[in-house]
Amino acid sequence: MALLDELIDANRAAFHPDSDPGSFVANRHLCIVTCVDPRLTHFFPEAIGVDRGHAVVIRVPGARIAPGSELLRTLAASIYVNDCQEVLVLPHTDCGVTRLTDAELRRVMRARGVNDPDIPEDPGAFFGLFGDVEKAALETVAAIRQTPFLPRHLPVHAALLDIRTGVMTVLERGYDAVFR
């Protein structure tokens, strides 16, 4: 059976026409910027007590948002549309973007049928690879705080989630930060 057909069958089995999906407003007024790593799917309720409807989750490789990135517009939407009043930048240990190399990316892209002239000259930069998740998290916090169209006194926190144990280590408390 094709993967899409499996998903359709699971959806039909789970469909409850009378259930209330809740509001588009994040009822804990939280936006989490985290990684695309599939190991994080369904990990938040147990690890940090965030269930469906509690938060907006923006998933990007390495939980990293660069200054001036289009992703800051996405974050702004979660703040203004979904009433998020705090942001948690939450990368994790054992992140793939810290382990891949340009050569490995090139190899995988070629194997998936991408022609050499179409592979970015610097795949690591193109995909946003980096070596230190804690440093990248703090850089993301700084990028968010320095964005002029975001609220001036928005608490932006950084923490590191251990992918094996779920233990969260706070890197920076946004309540204590100096704002621009």
Backbone phi, psi, residue 57, to 5°: -120, 120
Q: Is residue 29 part of a domain?
A: yes
Q: What is the pLDDT of residue 32?
A: 96
Q: What is the pLDDT of residue 12?
A: 82
Residue ranges for the chain with pLDDT beneath 70: 178-180
178 secondary structure, DSSP code: P
Q: What is the pLDDT of residue 120?
A: 95
Q: What is the pLDDT of residue 180?
A: 54
Residues contacting 157, CB < 8 A, separation 6+: 86, 87, 88, 89, 141, 170, 172, 173, 174, 175
Q: Count structural domains, the chain.
A: 1
Q: Is residue 120 part of a domain?
A: no
Q: Is residue 75 part of a domain?
A: yes
Q: Which domain holds residue 134?
A: 23-94+130-175
Decide the pairing of beta strands 156-161 and 168-172.
antiparallel
Q: What is the pLDDT of residue 118?
A: 97
